[in-house]
Amino acid sequence: MTPFGAKLREMRRKRGITLKEMATTLQVSSAYLSALEHGRRGRPTWFMVHRIITFFNVIWDEAEELQRLAEVSDPRITVDTAGLEPEATELANLLSTKIGGLSKESLLHLIHQLRVVAARDGI
């Protein structure tokens, strides 16, 4: 499941909306929405994100959060480390082989650490 898919499912369930009801209103198939929630579809388009924002009638922070989550919700990532330091290639490979075995707590810790380091390095 992607971060966007998890948020979409949470919002839908909190409001008591079925997948079929939402799909009908958005004029997409239930299968598409299910795949989007479960991370079997790529990142949603900007247009689809805005249709979902309108569907849920959210504004400001919640709308921005949905947009941000959509940006980081591509379930099939390719990391190109050509031309980077050897450690970048090692890190990418290590992450690709170990990510499936990490706990949610460990994943959250690594995300936090990477954000701290990125901010420190000005990226």
* Chain segment 33-69, per-residue pLDDT in tens: 999 999 898 889 999 999 999 999 998 999 999 999 9
CB-based contact 41:74 (threshold 8 Å):
no
First to last CA, the chain: 27
The pLDDT score that the predictor gives to residue 103 is 97
